[in-house]
């Protein structure tokens, strides 16, 4: 059974930092892309960052320079280091994996990912 379990969310003040983790289990060895998405109330789910098997990363313009995506190659644990947080970063953050395609990762939307975690809430106060 495939599972993606996120942790590390919480409440912080603007300018603070959080580190999200996503521990996968049951995934095949040849994962294509892994990604972090977020969804604020009343908003569409949006891509935050993606990483491909070679470690190449893509970031949304809104988080570029503040967030860093990384992956532990030994166990595929996915991380998102979030610095200089802003109130507009408040959202539920989801880990996702594409285990079906071989397409380039980049900025592909939620439909490209077939495995999802339950999410972890990030709240940034001003």
User: Mind listing the pLDDT tens digit for each residue in 46-102?
Assistant: 999 999 999 999 999 999 999 999 999 888 899 999 999 999 999 999 999 999 988
Tokens linked to 41: 């109330």
Residues 6+ apart with CB under 8 A from 125: 11, 12, 13, 14, 87
What is the 3 state secondary structure string of the chain? CCEEEEECCEEEECCCCEEEEEEEECCCCCCCEEEEEEECCCCCCEEEEEECCCCCEEECCCCCCCEEEEECCCCCCEEEEECCCCHHHCEEEEEEEECCCCCCCCCCCHHHCCEECCCEEEEEEC
Percent of the chain clearing pLDDT 70 (strictly above):
100
**What local confidence, expressed as pLDDT, does residue 27 receive?**
86
Cα–Cα distance for residue pair 9/122, rounded to 1 Å = 5
**What local confidence, expressed as pLDDT, does residue 22 receive?**
98
User: Mind listing the pLDDT tens digit for each residue in 66-79?
Assistant: 999 999 988 889 99
**What local confidence, expressed as pLDDT, does residue 98 receive?**
94
Cα–Cα distance for residue pair 45/106, rounded to 1 Å = 16
């Amino acid at each position: 059974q495939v599972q993606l379990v996120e942790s590390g969310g919480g409440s912080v003040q603007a300018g603070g930092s959080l580190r999200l983790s996503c521990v996968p289990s049951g995934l095949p060895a040849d994962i294509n892309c892994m990604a972090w998405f977020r969804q604020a109330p009343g908003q569409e789910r949006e891509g935050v960052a993606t990483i491909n098997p070679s470690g190449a990363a893509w970031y949304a313009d809104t988080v570029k320079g503040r967030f860093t995506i990384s992956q532990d190659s030994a166990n595929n644990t996915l991380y998102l280091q979030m610095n200089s947080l802003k109130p507009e970063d408040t959202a539920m953050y989801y880990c996702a994996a594409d285990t079906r395609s071989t397409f380039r990762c980049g900025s592909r939307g939620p439909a490209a990912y077939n495995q999802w975690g339950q999410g972890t809430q990030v709240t940034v106060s001003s």
